[in-house]
């Protein structure tokens, strides 16, 4: 990034379509990592972060009154984005007993018939759930049957542990006919503040997104596009190191929470631990107690949708010694009230 910033030619207005080098680097990454073949000309568009893409896709694809199936709990823009577009987000509960997957058969026919977009995200924020079965194949079939565009938010595919490798939605046969994927460099390369991502997959959907964007932003800073190329083309050693660090922190936190009797999954992906609150507490009351009495900030699960009630989300993005201290303070709190 420093080298590219020093070049005058990276400071002009970029094209919304992105530099050919950027589009080729994204396609190359998808080929090497997922075995997914993307045409850099028509199936890759730069995004100013996944958040921008998700918000704008609603404006590009929805008409007022359309229904959007939003993973619940889920990244909040899956519901606020449709509202801004005049559409109706309908929560699609991620069922704990199904490994925090949606029960597609439970979606009422009337809702499915009006649905235009389905938002999915695995590895999942906030539950940490990953895909280890044929969910994506069932989603493709559902999308075909109901004429729904699937938007798979792939922000965490590279943040995985215990030898688990996350798939791309686009690996699924037929996926590119019904959907797209939003890829982000934020978490994988610690580039959160730089705003770099890409939308990939179905060319018709990408064209609609691009058409909207040409009227809203003027593309991604070209020095950043080249920095993204360097990250995507690198040997990914830094990503492996970072995952090992997150896995250690996850183990520390999960062990401490389980020792207290809290019901918590050890996630195979993402930077979050999703824990059930103790009996008698709500998401909000437990989060507030942790803040007031232990001086530890966690996110109340209900902030991610109605199905997040009864859980809190903890983040692994704090240094080890702070995380150890947080675990110790939570332990003290729960011990004192046991
Ligand atoms: C599921 C999910 N999608 C998207 C984003 C946003 O990513 P970006 O920084 O690329 O906008 C986040 C960030 O927390 C996220 O958790």
Task: Give the mean pLDDT of 143-161.
Answer: 98
Compute the distance from residue 289 Cα to the ligand 1 centre, in Å. Answer: 27
Q: What is the pLDDT of residue 81?
A: 98
Residue 300 has pLDDT above 80, yes or no: yes
What are the pLDDT digits (tens) for 20-53?
999 999 999 999 999 999 999 999 999 999 999 9
102 band by pLDDT with thresholds 50, 70 and 90: very high
Pocket test for ligand 1, best of 71, 184, 220, 274 (most atoms within 8 A of CB): 184
Which residue lies with its CA nearest to atom 7 of ligand 1?
Answer: 50
Q: How many CB atoms sit inside 10 A of residue 177's CB?
A: 13
Packing angle, helices 20-34 and 222-233, rounded to 10: 20
* Sequence-separated (6 or more) residues with CB below 8 Å from residue 10: 4, 221, 222, 223, 226
* Sequence-separated (6 or more) residues with CB below 8 Å from residue 76: 303, 304
Instruction: Copy the structure tokens of residue 145.
Output: 């049957």
> Per the confidence metrics, is the pTM higher than 0.75?
yes
Which residue lies with its CA nearest to atom 3 of ligand 1?
Answer: 155
Q: Which atom of ligand 1 is nearest to the CA of 153?
A: 3
Residue 155 has pLDDT above 70, yes or no: yes
Query: Do strands 299-300 and 67-72 pair parallel, antiparallel, or not at all (unpaired)?
Result: unpaired
Pocket test for ligand 1, best of 52, 74, 155, 217 (most atoms within 8 A of CB): 155
What are the pLDDT digits (tens) for 198-246?
999 999 999 999 999 999 999 999 999 999 999 999 999 999 999 999 9
Q: Which atom of ligand 1 is nearest to the CA of 121?
A: 1
As for ligand 1, residues whose beta carbon falls within 6 Å of it are: 49-51, 75, 121, 125, 153, 155, 184, 186, 192, 197
269 band by pLDDT with thresholds 50, 70 and 90: very high
Task: Give the mean pLDDT of 90-108.
Answer: 98
Residue 310 has pLDDT above 80, yes or no: yes
Closest CA to 69 of 133, 135, 141, 152: 152
For 221-249, the DSSP string reads -HHHHHHHHHHHHS--HHHHHHHHHHHHH
Task: Give the mean pLDDT of 253-279.
Answer: 93
- Strands of 267-308, DSSP E: 272-276, 299-300
Q: Which atom of ligand 1 is nearest to the CA of 51?
A: 11
Residue 256 has pLDDT above 90, yes or no: no
Which residue lies with its CA nearest to atom 16 of ligand 1?
Answer: 125
Q: What is the pLDDT of residue 119?
A: 98
């Amino acid at each position: 990034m420093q080298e590219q910033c020093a070049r005058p030619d990276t400071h002009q207005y970029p094209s919304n379509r992105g530099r050919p080098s950027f589009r080729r680097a994204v396609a190359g990454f998808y080929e090497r990592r997922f075995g997914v073949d993307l045409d850099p000309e028509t199936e890759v568009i730069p995004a100013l972060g996944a958040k921008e893409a998700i918000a704008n896709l609603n404006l590009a694809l929805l008409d007022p009154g359309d229904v959007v199936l939003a993973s619940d709990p889920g990244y909040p823009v899956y519901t606020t984005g449709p509202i801004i577009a005049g559409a109706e987000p309908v929560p699609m509960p991620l069922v704990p007993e199904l490994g925090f997957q949606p029960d597609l058969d439970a979606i009422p026919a009337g809702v499915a018939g009006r649905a235009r977009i389905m938002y999915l995200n695995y590895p999942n924020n906030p539950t940490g759930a990953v895909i280890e079965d044929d969910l994506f194949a069932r989603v493709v079939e559902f999308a075909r049957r109901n004429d729904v565009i699937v938007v798979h938010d792939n922000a965490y595919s590279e943040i995985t542990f215990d030898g688990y490798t996350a798939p791309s939605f686009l690996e699924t046969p037929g996926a590119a006919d019904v959907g797209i994927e939003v890829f982000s460099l934020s978490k994988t390369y610690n580039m959160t503040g730089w705003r770099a991502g890409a939308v990939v997959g179905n060319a018709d959907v990408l064209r609609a997104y691009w058409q909207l964007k040409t009227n809203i932003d003027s593309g991604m800073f070209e020095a950043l596009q080249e920095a993204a190329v360097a990250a995507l083309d690198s040997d990914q050693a830094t990503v492996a190191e970072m995952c090992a660090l997150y896995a250690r922190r996850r183990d520390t936190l999960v062990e401490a929470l389980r020792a207290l009797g809290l019901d918590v999954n050890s996630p195979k992906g993402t930077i979050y631990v999703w824990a059930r609150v103790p009996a008698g507490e709500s998401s909000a009351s437990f989060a507030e107690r942790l803040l007031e009495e232990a001086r530890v900030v966690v996110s109340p699960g209900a902030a991610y949708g109605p199905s997040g009630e009864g859980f809190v989300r903890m983040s692994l993005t704090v240094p080890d010694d702070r995380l150890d201290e947080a675990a110790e303070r939570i332990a003290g709190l729960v011990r004192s009230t046991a």
